[in-house]
Chains A and B, each alone.
Chain A
Amino acid sequence: MKLKKQTRIAVIITTLIFCMMFGNVTALANDHVPYDTYNYDYRDYIVHTPAAYVPDHSISGVSFGMKAFNNPQDLCIAPDGLVYIADTNNNKIVVLNDTMTKLVRVITEFNNNGTTDHFNRPYGIAISKKNELYIADSENKRIVVLNSEDQLIKIVDNPQSDVLEAGYVFTPLKVTVDYADRIFCIAKGMTEGIMVFDSDGQFTSFFGTIKVEITLWEKFWRRLSTKKERSRQSLFIPTEFTGIDIDEKGFIFASNIDNAGEQAVRRLNPSGEDVIKKGVKKNVGGDLRTGGMNSYAGPSKIVDVVYRNNGIYSILDSRRGRIFTYDYEGNLLYIFGGLGSQAGTFVAPVAIESSNNMILVLDSTRAEILVFQATEYGTLINDAVALRFDGDESLAVEKWEQVLKLDENFEIANVGIGKAYLSKGDNKLAMKYLKLGMSREYYSIAYKRYRNEILKQNLSFLLTGIVVILAGTMITKSIIRKRKNIVDNTDGGGLE
């Protein structure tokens, strides 16, 4: 009998283990993606997730019967859906239609006051709300602004200001433009921040300067080292920005390389202050686990950022070819992408754009655009975050529940559901989900309400209990006292 029970337990356990193993294998095999898709849980453990985006197809210059792209550096999507690619080493701008199936036109030259002018290494491009094309014409040291008929509107070059060093050579790399036609430009070797030009093309100021933080330890060592040693040490130079985008409110999203791996993207308000939310982990720097000694290890090297919509933005890491997507609160939603030579992986990703449920990544070495299509999982998360961003948390619950069916470890989904139950008043279920989502703050609120509920329900029992206990103690005490008195009396009587 005993043996039987043991064997039964053993069988159950082994089947369970097999189920778990098998379940894992099938879950991973279903995705068919050439990269890891994962996320980090509350304790920074890597949790594998379904793929949020899968590679769909790739687009190269050859697909439109022209010369292959040569070291393309930037792409952007116009308000009317056209896709612009800066084909840097071919000195031209390629324009594709919104589904990227047809070549619309190629911009190689423009009329500059009667003379035909060309680009020299056009590096970054941006499109304003008015459909005007801003081109960082890097080796011509200027920003060219064209309208939608490729007519020249203005040329921004040779910025003049007291804050610029004498003989400063302006080499624009990335540009973006806001609703007031102000140009935000990342220039080569310019560590003071993003350069801002007003609508007349006059340089006005630097923007969003990254302050260098020297640790106490570094200060200590600098104090100890001699002048000669100090001259050989690396200088504390602020990192440069790498990519730039603008959201619908006119806030600038700018990515930078952070060797601490903590903050690789900033959201700059109109006065240039960083107002990004960093989430529970206080981290918007890509990968959290970056250990190891090989070239594959180390903090993520974020080269571009794209603001998508509903507060969601994605950043592109060139070190491991990952795309990290955050919501407006700075929570990591999903991670996908990888380096490699397979279809759907990158060699040197340089720029990222998004449209509808697609993410486009430009690879400069492969000279092609990789198009990623959202899966059900990715779409559900995007929709849920969008609903929450609009303040519709109860509608988001449905989406979160579907997300949990695909990935039951997703903490943000658990928190979302928990919060909804909390506002609905179902405190017990709220506690369950908030604990799964590791949200201490809201769990505590739910718990407090739950406790009060229980107390209220059982108040009569509780009070009766207290009265009974009090009465009981009083009665027993008086009985004891009486007995003692009797004993004392007899004792006393005895002594007398």
Chain B
Amino acid sequence: MKRWFSKGKLRYPFYILTHPADGYYELRHRERGSVPVAIIITALFSFCFSMNRIHASFIVNDVDPRSVDSMNELGGVMLLFLLFCIGNWSVTCLMGGEGRFKDIVTSVGYALLPLVLTLIPATIISGFVAADEEAFYYLILVFGVAWTAILILMGIMIIHNYSLAKTLVTLILTFFSMLIIIFITMMLFDLLSQVYGFFRNVYIELQNRG
């Protein structure tokens, strides 16, 4: 427990917020990160995201509350998170990246912290703005997204010891690898279900004849 949730480990994501370069370097080389904390941050992000969709004020929010299912969204966010990490890992493995899978998970998870921190205040503030003051709300959101984007970029760059150009290339390749993974998984499921169907049919046939 101590290894994952010590006071220093819990504080570290906040250190990374303001010192991404040093923070990510030490995350890779001095074991300052913690995978469970990263996963918790991701879950928190998903929670904040759902809350924003449900509770943001009517003025800025056009989402049908009936269409929001926070458990579904948690699953979606987690799946996407995992997919991104696997995709990035498989690309960087081939491109001489120094980061381990664990580092990718922690760096991406920690990078979501600005979103967690901005979505909730934005949701609260949305309750106090009129239509012509929406800009405040969107400013906070854009700020959070931009911060997260910068953190992800720097995180990937530093843990793999890449140049900026190479990072951008890997990110694009990561995107494609994610698509390929989705494609292959779907194909696999289809194939498996057909195999299953075949044996099922054989079983039914045998039972009916016997």
Residues of chain A whose beta carbon lies under 8 Å from any beta carbon of chain B: 43, 435, 440-441, 443-445, 447-448, 451
Contacts and interface: CB of A to CB of B under 8 A. Distances in A.
B112 to A, nearest CB: 30
A447 B64 contact: no
Q: Per DSSP, are chain A's interface residues mostly helix, strand or loop, or mixed?
A: helix
Given A444-B59, A445-B130, 9 more contacts: A43-B64, A435-B58, A441-B131, A443-B58, A443-B59, A444-B130, A444-B132, A445-B131, A447-B59
A445 B131 CA distance: 8
A281 to B, nearest CB: 13
A152 B58 CA distance: 63
19 contacts: A43-B64, A435-B58, A440-B58, A440-B59, A440-B131, A441-B131, A443-B58, A443-B59, A444-B59, A444-B130, A444-B131, A444-B132, A445-B130, A445-B131, A447-B59, A447-B130, A448-B130, A451-B128, A451-B130
Contacts of B131: 440-441, 444-445
Contacts of A444: 59, 130-132
Q: Which 5 pairs across A and B sit closest by C-beta, in order of nearness?
A: A444-B131, A448-B130, A444-B130, A444-B59, A43-B64
Contacts of B58: 435, 440, 443
Nearest to B62: A440
Contacts of A448: 130
A344 B64 CA distance: 37
Contacts of A445: 130-131
Interface in B120-156: 128, 130-132
B65 to A, nearest CB: 10
Contacts of B130: 444-445, 447-448, 451
Q: Per DSSP, are chain B's interface residues mostly helix, strand or loop, or mixed?
A: loop
A135 B59 CA distance: 53
Nearest to B132: A444
Nearest to B134: A444
Interface string B156-180: 0000000000000000000000000
A441 B130 CA distance: 9
Contacts, number: 19
Nearest to A440: B59
A451 B131 CA distance: 13
Pick the most buried of B64, B128, B131, B132: most chain A CB atoms within 10 A of its CB: B131
B137 to A, nearest CB: 12
Contacts of A43: 64
Contacts of B132: 444
Nearest to B59: A444
Nearest to B66: A43
Contacts of A440: 58-59, 131
A440 B58 CA distance: 7
Contacts of A435: 58
A443 B64 CA distance: 17
Contacts of A443: 58-59
Contacts of A441: 131
A448 B132 CA distance: 10
A451 B59 CA distance: 14
Nearest to B58: A435
A125 to B, nearest CB: 47
Pick the most buried of B58, B64, B128, B132: most chain A CB atoms within 10 A of its CB: B58
Interface string B35-62: 0000000000000000000000011000
A445 B64 CA distance: 22
Interface in B10-40: none
A448 B128 CA distance: 9
Nearest to A42: B64
Nearest to B127: A447
Nearest to A434: B58
Contacts of B128: 451
B56 to A, nearest CB: 13
A451 B64 CA distance: 25
A451 B132 CA distance: 14
B128 to A, nearest CB: 7
A441 B59 CA distance: 8
Nearest to A448: B130
Nearest to A431: B58
A447 B128 CA distance: 9
Nearest to B64: A43
A444 B57 CA distance: 10
A440 B63 CA distance: 13
Contacts of B64: 43
Nearest to A446: B130
A282 to B, nearest CB: 15
B66 to A, nearest CB: 9
B92 to A, nearest CB: 38
Pick the most buried of B64, B128, B130, B132: most chain A CB atoms within 10 A of its CB: B130
Interface in B87-133: 128, 130-132
Interface string B51-89: 000000011000010000000000000000000000000
A43 B63 CA distance: 10
Pick the most buried of A441, A444, A445, A451: most chain B CB atoms within 10 A of its CB: A444
Nearest to A438: B58
A153 B119 CA distance: 75
